[in-house]
Chains A and B, each alone.
Chain A
Amino acid sequence: AQKITQTQPGMFVQEKEAVTLDCTYDTSDQSYGLFWYKQPSSGEMIFLIYQGSYDEQNATEGRYSLNFQKARKSANLVISASQLGDSAMYFCAMREDFGGTSYGKLTFGQGTILTVHP
C-alpha cells in the first residue's frame, strides 16, 4: 500500500477562491510528521506547512491551513484566497519515527497540479 496518497492529479480554482488538496497517509507509527511542499515550474521544493501527529490544533501558516483528521489518516491542505502565483505542483509528505531510526526519511505523494484561473 502507498504510504502517501494524493488522489487529485490536477485541480482548478478561480482566483480569490479557496481550494482543498487531498492527502491520505498510511502508518503504524504513533509519532509522525506531515508536510506540504509547493513546487513551481522552476523546480524548487518550497516548504509550506507542518503538522505533528500529537498536535491537537490544525496547523496554519498565513493562507495555508492543514485539515488534520487523525482517525481518518488525512491531512488536507487548504489554500484560502488563491492567487495566480499559487499555480504549481503540491506534494504531501510524511516523516515516520521508526523508533528514532528514520534518519530523515521523507515519503512523498505523487503530487497535485493546481492551476489558478484569473
Chain B
Amino acid sequence: ETGVTQTPRHLVMGMTNKKSLKCEQHLGHNAMYWYKQSAKKPLELMFVYNFKEQTENNSVPSRFSPECPNSSHLFLHLHTLQPEDSALYLCASSHVLGVQETQYFGPGTRLLVL
C-alpha cells in the first residue's frame, strides 16, 4: 500500500449505530487530519493530530470521536449521527514543516446516515 488509505470507502448507517472510519498513511508523516466535505460547502477541517497529540478540534460535535494510536493510523469513531452528517470524510497526512507543508489525502469515505 502506498500513500494514504481509507476504509471503508462507502458506509451507510442508521442514527443509532456505532461505526468507525480508519485512515492509514504510508508516507512517514507526523501529522494527520480529518476533513468533512458536504455538498455545496468547502472542506471543513475537523481534527488535527501532530505527533499523535490532538492539536485542533474545530468545534466538532462529540458524536465524532477521533483516535490516533500512532503517527500512521487515525480513526474517527461515529455514534448517534444525524442525517446532516452525511458527507465525504477525508483523511490527510503531512510532515510538520510550516506554511510549505503539503497535505496528502486519502480517497475518502462516503457516509450516508439514514
Binding site for B on A (CB under 8 A): 4, 31-33, 35, 37, 42-47, 50, 52-53, 91, 95-97, 100, 102-111
Contact = CB atoms under 8 A, between A and B. Distances in A.
Contact of B94 (A37, A45, A104, A110): A104
Interface-centre pick from A50, A91, A95 (highest chain B CB count, 10 A)? A95
A93 to B, nearest CB: 8
B52 to A, nearest CB: 14
A100 B101 CA distance: 12
A109 to B, nearest CB: 6
Interface of B: 31, 33, 41-43, 45, 48, 50, 55-56, 88, 90, 92, 94, 96, 98-108, 110
Interface-centre pick from B31, B43, B90, B107 (highest chain A CB count, 10 A)? B43
Given A45-B90, A50-B100, A52-B99, 14 more contacts: A33-B100, A35-B102, A35-B103, A43-B88, A43-B110, A45-B43, A47-B104, A50-B102, A96-B99, A102-B99, A104-B94, A104-B101, A105-B56, A111-B42
Nearest to A103: B55
A107 B102 CA distance: 13
A45 B105 contact: yes
A91 B58 CA distance: 20
A104 B31 contact: yes
A88 B107 CA distance: 14
A113 to B, nearest CB: 12
